[in-house]
Amino acid sequence: MPRANYRSSDVDLMARMMRAEAEGEGKQGMLYVGNVIVNRLVADCLDFKGLRNINQVIYQVQGGNYSFEAVQKGNVFYQRSRTAERRLAKQNLDYWRQHPGKYALWYFNPHAPCPPTWYDQPQSGQFKEHCFYEPKPGTCDSVYRG
């Protein structure tokens, strides 16, 4: 059973986002970004209540900006998806979860050492340039189940 219900258009959209956000960090980095996307979909808590499909996750606006910077600024995001990234996105949607993105709902590239918390959420780890953060225990238990 997949982690989330999806259509081929969801796979395509997610693949474009994974590439735009983490192409420089290779397949592993793109899979971690994919973890965050799927985690936001299944979490239904905190900033991610009511998100019911990949399109809503990718185009979510918070504080007047898109949650994913690549939607606003990314030329790569607006290119066609490639087979390799679609395969990775499908892996995330079907089953793939791994530390440090396993339960992460946030990530960013600080261009410096990762801070121990980000918006008061604990760091779960780092992969290359991206720092990953998961919700504090008890604040979003659904992400640990989904």
Per-residue model confidence as pLDDT tens digits over 87-138: 999 999 999 999 999 999 999 999 999 999 999 999 999 999 999 999 999 9
Q: What is the CA radius of gyration of the chain?
A: 14
> What's the domain range around 126?
8-145
Whether residue 93 is contained in a domain is answered as yes
Whether residue 2 is contained in a domain is answered as no
Whether residue 56 is contained in a domain is answered as yes
Contact status, residue 133 vs residue 122, Cβ threshold 8 Å: yes
Task: Give the mean model confidence (pLDDT) for residues 74-98.
Answer: 94
Whether residue 102 is contained in a domain is answered as yes
Instruction: For residue 65, give the H/E element and its range.
Output: strand 65-66
> Which SS3 state, helix, strand or coil, does residue 121 take?
strand
Rounded Cα gap, residues 133 and 121, in angstroms: 6
Whether residue 92 is contained in a domain is answered as yes
pLDDT at 21: 94
Task: Look over the chain and give the mean of its residue pLDDT values, rounded to a whole number.
Answer: 95
pLDDT at 102: 97
Whether residue 1 is contained in a domain is answered as no
CATH of the domain at 33: 1.10.10.2520
Total domains in the chain come to: 1
Per-residue model confidence as pLDDT tens digits over 27-63: 999 999 999 999 999 999 999 999 999 999 999 999 9
Nearest CA-CA partner of 54 in 38, 31, 32 = 38
Whether residue 3 is contained in a domain is answered as no
